Structure 1
Amino acid sequence: MSVRRAARGAAGAAGLMIMAELAGRTGLIDPALLPRMSTILAEAVQLPWDPEFTADLLVTLRVWAMGLLIAVLLAVPLGLMLGNLPRAELSARPLVEFLRPIPSIALLPLVTLLVPSGEAAKIIAVVYAASWPLLINTMYGLRDVDPLAKETLRSFGFGTLAILGRVSLPSAAPFVMTGIRLASSVAFIVTVSAELLAGGEGGLGVFMIRAGSGLRTDLILAAVLWTGVLGLVANLLLVNLQRRAFRWHAVRAVGEL
């Protein structure tokens, strides 16, 4: 089923590219304004051998990875704490609901003023945006824990930490993994967006800015294409990891349906 779904997705992407190419060749779209898809693909194929592009790519990946890692280390333990303490979760809920809708990019100018390092400011923006999917999914994962299993362990004399390690964490782990997968996509989007807005010494966003200053629309779109490919690959890897690590959870979910 997954192979068939991937084939359908590839066919849809190929069809869209063919339509874009035909629109350029028939004159429906002026190639001076929007390059043909064949030109964009040719530039995209050559970009990995461009030292300037690879250096910018490594900067983006570093900011993305560091921001996502810090978000996991902060948000998952906080979600575990709030999920296990109903009173604390009830007290923190208004603050969470107030802060969660605020776009991290909107806070970037303030963070840039407070933090001297441009890369650190981008990492902070990534951490802020990526923390919410992790926090919410961890809290909801703990709510999904079977209360009967917890009460059974309590009746056998197990303490809070033992119940957390034996029941709560294994049950919430698939939800945490889903949060990581969602946070990964959010972190990548925010990383490139922050580079486009704040600039800096490197990054895919900075590469697009330089290409735009040289009126190289083909390079901009080729970099955009690579951005989409990298996000897709990261998501596919995490989905595959989630299925392999928590196959039992998928089986249980099917049984519940």
Structure 2
Amino acid sequence: MISGIDATVYDAQSLPSNDNVNAYAFSIDLDGEWFTSKGAMIAYYGAIELSGLSAYASHAAWVAARFSSPLYAQEWVVASGRGKLVIGDRGNDINSYDLDNGNLTIKQTNLLAFETALELKQSIIPGFVTLIGTGKFLASSNGPVIFVEPPFRADPDALLGWADCPSPSIHYDYHWMSQSLSAGVHAMFGRESGEERQYDFTGAGTVLLQSSEVTRHDPALARIVEQHTHLLTAAAAGVLGHKLIARSQE
């Protein structure tokens, strides 16, 4: 017998249906298909299959129609079948949201799963993707989510996403950079903080923030940079190479 502060034992029937098990895990009542982030599944009951997008697209053309983000295709799988699918994200808070004929852009590393009724597109802002339509999605955050209205400036690391408002512009605080020695040193190596660079939101809509500035590894960012290196001259490519070497040796 296991005992503790919260030693609730779940089975397929007692697990919540499309609701949080606790603050850090969510139980999807699967009857069909969901898109899920690779590695997000922590357990499941029932007849559920997890397939890579490329494998699943071979017999389901709607995958290509609903998932339009080639840079992130290898980071996602299709969960199909019937049963209870439990999603987690390394102890981060998990919340579910309902999009009603809406448009929401969210940090790719924080999007965990979404219903196939929603369409996903690659955002013009590196590291973000956009969900369009009506349906449910799951997102993680480091601490509770804060909702704010524009006009607003957000630290890039604290920014989770934005809904039904224009994409942000980037605001640089050159006064901070010129007065701060450490900021100048960081800038030499391509590193920036929220004090010197912020996302500037204007217009109507809602901005979502997490309660910390914890950065997450995005495996596709290197592919995004590589995709644009053809725009560099040989000299510029050399400068970039030296900076990347210096950054890797820090």
User: TM (normalized to structure 2)?
Assistant: 0.21
Larger Rg: 1
Higher RCO by CA contacts (8 Å cutoff, separation 6 or greater): 1
Higher helix proportion (structure 1 or 2)? 1
User: TM (normalized to structure 1)?
Assistant: 0.21
